Amino acid sequence: MAYGLLKGKKGIIFGALDDRSIAWKVAEHCHAEGAEFILTNAPVALRMGTINALAEKVGAEIVPADVTVQEDMENLIKVAMEKYGKVDFILHSVGMSPNVRKGRPYDDLNYEYFHKTLDISAMSLHRLLQACMNADAISEWGSVVALTYIASQRTYPGYGDMADAKAMLESISRSFGYHYGYAKKVRVNTISQSPTVTTAGSGVAGFDEFIGNADRRAPLGNASADACADYCVSLFSDLTRMVTMQNLFHDGGYSSVGEAPQGS
Ligand SMILES: NC(=O)c1ccc[n+]([C@@H]2O[C@H](COP(=O)([O-])OP(=O)(O)OC[C@H]3O[C@@H](n4cnc5c(N)ncnc54)[C@H](O)[C@@H]3O)[C@@H](O)[C@H]2O)c1
């Protein structure tokens, strides 16, 4: 059911690769709520994924951008501003660890890969926000949301160096939220999502086991990608204007459970 919560709002959505991607669901829900937006992903992902089908469905333009390349980020923002003037919302749904992908455990990291993990999965949020601020690309009371995972705060050994990237991502969201809030009343938050079956999610060692454990331990069960999209819509809407610099758990209660006799 749609409520017209994003009627007239313009945005940018990073990270829709295929129809399992969380960003894909967010794009569908934003479209249903009346928003217009640009879809963006790395050039290689545009070739490998199925984003064209999504773009057609939601009437969006696709602008390629590798989040580690400054010129790509600046060009994306330039195109968005030519199209919309300022944007009202941005979804950062980007993550990749070459160490995780190549099965390197946390105590045997390749440091070139580690740099790449941090650049793609964390520093990219800073790069995005700084480029937006320099171009004055986000409207007052605009909203930026990045997706994170609880391994930033508690140890999940199979999550490898992505845990460090997520800790940095959450910190950048808080720190930039301070600066952007004072400067332009722009909100910046992270959503800490349940484990979800997607290309990025399934790459984590032991994923099947920990998605099942989380589902049993969460009183409401794991939150789906569709439910995450609903939460993103609420954060892009005017109903959450005073929420910023927060890490918001969207996990069926999992993060607050100590002992779960019913869930073991
Ligand atoms: N799936 C989960 O269990 C889960 C749980 C919590 C948080 N998250 C986070 O949600 C976000 C989206 O992941 P997902 O699970 O939908 O998987 P996904 O694989 O569908 O999305 C990850 C996206 O990052 C993009 N990307 C990678 N490198 C890039 C680059 N250099 N430039 C631009 N884009 C690049 C990929 O192309 C892909 O579209 C990630 O930040 C992920 O860490 C996922």
Ligand 1 mutation target, pool 22, 50, 254, most atoms within 8 A of CB: 22
Atom of ligand 1 nearest to the CA of 20: 20
Residue 248 lies in a domain: yes
Domain count, the chain: 1
Rounded to an integer, what distance in angstroms lies between the CA atom of residue 150 and that of residue 181? 25
What is residue 243's predicted lDDT score, i.e. its pLDDT? 98
Residue 119 lies in a domain: yes
Q: How many CB atoms lie within 10 A of CB 75?
A: 15
Rounded to an integer, what distance in angstroms lies between the CA atom of residue 36 and that of residue 126? 24
Rounded to an integer, what distance in angstroms lies between the CA atom of residue 183 and that of residue 257? 37
| C-alpha of residue 15 to centroid of ligand 1, in Å | 6
Ligand 1, atom 5, lies closest to the CA of: 195
What is residue 205's predicted lDDT score, i.e. its pLDDT? 80
- CATH number of the domain bearing residue 69: 3.40.50.720
Please report where in the chains the tokens 């808080």 appear, as a residue.
174
Amino acid letter, 160: G
Atom of ligand 1 nearest to the CA of 66: 32
Residue 263 lies in a domain: no
- Does the Cβ of 93 fall within 6 Å of ligand 1? yes
| C-alpha of residue 38 to centroid of ligand 1, in Å | 17
What is residue 207's predicted lDDT score, i.e. its pLDDT? 85
Checking DSSP bridges between strand 87-92 and strand 36-40, what pairing results, if any? unpaired
Counting as low any pLDDT under 50, the low residues of the chain are none
What is residue 264's predicted lDDT score, i.e. its pLDDT? 65
What is residue 159's predicted lDDT score, i.e. its pLDDT? 94
Residue 262 lies in a domain: no
| C-alpha of residue 198 to centroid of ligand 1, in Å | 8
Residue 55 lies in a domain: yes
Residue 260 lies in a domain: no
Beta-bridged to residue 250, according to DSSP, are 193
Structural domain for 122, as ranges: 10-254
Residue 118 lies in a domain: yes
Residue 264 lies in a domain: no
The dihedrals phi and psi of 197, each to the nearest 5 degrees, come to -75, 105
How many Å separate Cα 212 from the centre of its chain?
22
